[in-house]
């Protein structure tokens, strides 16, 4: 089962968000039939979304990550709440690129660096908070760290990893965000930087049955890590026939009638989970009756 942990070192010098997201990314792959490169790019974005969502306070708060780097994958979008739910899609899921010389998936080239990462935080205020930064590497982890620095002046280390198996299934996925707290002393900051510098590649930590708690304690073994929260995580879409109806109604009576004249049925597809909704016969009449 996927889950997120929230942790803090005992001296309260930094906080950790860490998540194992293998099943979440595999569910996304099944919904969207993503190529290995697309699985990695979307998977890293979903993994980050799960953790960033948990930084919000209320159940109804929503965080959206929109990445558009001008690369062949097109736009990548993820929407998360603070309850461990995330949904998302990539515009061109079948795009795949050759592996890099080091044998890794070339997420950076597939995403591109000629564009922006935009993070929209909707916490029920009149206007959502929108922060945007230029993409640096397109590898997503570093771009999110840059986002926190540029928009919130918050130092962060972000590590995201997705391993794709030969049969294209997700072998493992996970990641963490580490943020030093305001009163961290120089000595501890150096210790923290060393811990991060001595790490293996992040995917290796998640490519087994180890508990997320143990992974956190292993990476930050020079510190006393206290786990403060454990939240189940999953890919979960909240689309419904009612929502699709509402979207159709917003098209307007005249345009809807035109679509029906040509096709007699209306099929809508949810971008996030590819679920299809079919409207025909009575359903359509009810829909049209509902529009004044
Ligand atoms: Zn859906």
pLDDT tens for 202-260 read 999 999 989 999 999 999 999 999 999 999 999 999 999 999 988 888 888 888 888 88
Going from the Cα of 97 to the center of ligand 1, the distance in angstroms, rounded, reads 28
Continuous H helices in the chain? 22-32, 36-53, 107-111, 141-152, 186-197, 202-206, 212-219, 241-249, 253-263, 282-289
- Domains of the chain: residue spans and CATH: 3-235 (3.55.30.10), 241-291 (3.90.1280.10)
Place 282 in a pLDDT band, splitting at 50, 70 and 90.
Answer: confident
Mean pLDDT of 160-176: 97
In angstroms, the CA 145 to CA 277 distance is 38
pLDDT at 41: 98
Going from the Cα of 244 to the center of ligand 1, the distance in angstroms, rounded, reads 10
Sheet holding 234-235, edge to edge: 129-134, 116-122, 62-68, 76-80, 85-90, 234-235
pLDDT at 289: 81
Taking only the tens place, the pLDDT of each residue in 8-26 is 999 999 999 999 999 999 9
Higher local confidence (pLDDT), 291 or 20: 20
- Min mean pLDDT across 41-55, 133-147, 276-290 is at 276-290
Going from the Cα of 85 to the center of ligand 1, the distance in angstroms, rounded, reads 13
Is the confidence at residue 280, as pLDDT, over 90?
no
Partnered with residue 172 across adjacent β-strands are 163
Going from the Cα of 138 to the center of ligand 1, the distance in angstroms, rounded, reads 26
The CA-atom distances, in angstroms, between 239 and each of 59, 249, 268 are: 17, 16, 11
Going from the Cα of 172 to the center of ligand 1, the distance in angstroms, rounded, reads 24
Mean pLDDT of 107-113: 97
Taking only the tens place, the pLDDT of each residue in 22-67 is 999 999 999 999 999 999 999 999 999 999 999 999 999 999 999 9
This prediction's pTM = 0.94
Going from the Cα of 228 to the center of ligand 1, the distance in angstroms, rounded, reads 32
Token representation of residue 97:
């690129």
Compute the mean pLDDT over every residue in the chain, rounded to the nearest whole number. 94
Going from the Cα of 6 to the center of ligand 1, the distance in angstroms, rounded, reads 28
Nearest C-alpha neighbor of 21 from the set 253, 210, 235: 235
In angstroms, the CA 180 to CA 265 distance is 55
Going from the Cα of 200 to the center of ligand 1, the distance in angstroms, rounded, reads 36
Going from the Cα of 239 to the center of ligand 1, the distance in angstroms, rounded, reads 4
**CB-neighbour burial class of residue 224 (10 A; exposed 0-12, middle 13-18, buried 19+):** exposed
pLDDT at 292: 64
Mean pLDDT of 82-110: 96
Torsion of CA 94, 97, 99, 100, to 10 degrees: -140
Going from the Cα of 274 to the center of ligand 1, the distance in angstroms, rounded, reads 6
Residue-level length of the chain: 292
Place 266 in a pLDDT band, splitting at 50, 70 and 90.
Answer: confident
């Amino acid at each position: 089962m996927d889950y997120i942990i929230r942790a803090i070192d005992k001296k309260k010098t930094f906080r950790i968000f860490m998540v194992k997201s293998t099943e979440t990314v595999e569910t996304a792959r099944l919904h969207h039939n993503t190529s290995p490169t697309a699985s990695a790019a979307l998977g890293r974005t979903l993994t980050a979304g799960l953790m960033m969502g948990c930084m919000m306070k209320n159940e109804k708060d929503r965080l959206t990550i929109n990445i558009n780097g001008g690369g062949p994958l097109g736009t990548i979008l993820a929407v998360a709440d603070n309850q461990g739910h995330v949904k998302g899609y990539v515009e061109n899921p079948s795009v795949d690129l050759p592996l890099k010389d080091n044998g890794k998936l070339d997420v950076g080239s597939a995403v591109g660096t000629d564009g922006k990462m935009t993070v929209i935080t909707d916490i029920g205020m009149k206007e959502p908070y929108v922060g945007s930064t230029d993409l640096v590497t397109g590898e997503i982890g570093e771009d999110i760290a840059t986002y926190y620095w540029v928009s919130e002046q918050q130092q962060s280390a972000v590590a995201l990893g997705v391993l794709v198996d030969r049969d294209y299934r997700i072998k493992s996925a996970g990641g963490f965000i580490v943020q030093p707290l305001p009163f961290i002393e120089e000595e501890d900051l150096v210790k923290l930087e060393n811990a991060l510098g001595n790490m293996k590649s992040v995917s290796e930590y998640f490519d087994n049955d180890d508990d997320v708690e143990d992974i956190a304690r292993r990476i930050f073994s020079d510190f006393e890590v206290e786990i403060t929260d454990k939240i189940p995580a999953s890919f979960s879409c909240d689309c419904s026939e009612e929502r699709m109806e509402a979207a159709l109604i917003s098209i307007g009576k005249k345009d809807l009638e035109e679509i029906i004249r040509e096709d007699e049925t209306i099929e809508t597809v949810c971008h996030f989970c590819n679920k299809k909704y079919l409207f025909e016969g009575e359903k359509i009449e009810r829909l049209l009756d509902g529009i004044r």
